[in-house]
Structure 1
Amino acid sequence: MTNKTTGALSEGRPISTAPRDGTWIQAEIPGHGSDNIIAWLGGLEDEAGNECWAWHFMLEGQEPPDCWTDGVCWASNEDGAPSVQPTKWKPYYA
């Protein structure tokens, strides 16, 4: 359930417990609300050319935070600034 006053996921679980297998989830991102539909996906390369994984926005029409590059939550974005990490999650039911 989402708290109508703060927009926070009142029943959210810590993001560290979220599935990391491509499953879509509803996530709370500080300063960006709690209706964000994201998934942990691979197939990316870091600056050294190694495969890496990250949170991706999944629904068209949803805008990721400005600090996410191309809808992806990197440890640091294309400007070298840290991306705001999701903090809570709950299952997403389409």
Structure 2
Amino acid sequence: MPELNEWKLMDTAPMEGTAIQARIPGHGEDNIIAWLEHYVDENGEDVGGWTFVEDQEPPDCWTDGVCWASNEDGKPSVQPTHWKEIS
């Protein structure tokens, strides 16, 4: 059984607004993010995305602190790879 503070793959991360600590390639391991569902995409559809929930500087490729499949410049956002509970 994994320990609470072990890194886990993102596909097991909570996606109901719980803040987690995340590894983001090229951006370290101290990122506090949460999956939030209150966004609207370019087609007017409701969507969710990983969002910084602390006053931290997100990667340049995240638009307004949100990780999209691609950002406002049309370039892919760097996706978080691992997560763990905030200790």
Match of 2:32 in 1: 37
Unpaired runs of 5+ in structure 2? 1-5
Divergent runs of 4+, >4 A: none
DSSP-derived class of the 1:39 partner = strand
Which of 1, 7, 16 pairs up with 1:12?
7
d(CA) in 2 for partners of 1:70 and 1:31? Answer: 18
Task: Give the TM-score taking structure 2 as reference length.
Answer: 0.92
- The equivalences for 1:12-91 within 5 A come to 12-60=7-55, 62-91=56-85
DSSP-derived class of the 2:58 partner = coil
CA RMSD of the aligned region, Å?
A: 1.2
Alpha-carbon shift at residue 92 of structure 1 (Å) = 1.1
d(CA) in 1 for partners of 2:84 and 2:38? Answer: 24
Higher RCO, Cα 8 Å, sep 6+:
2
Task: Give the TM-score taking structure 1 as reference length.
Answer: 0.85
Aligned residue pair count: 83
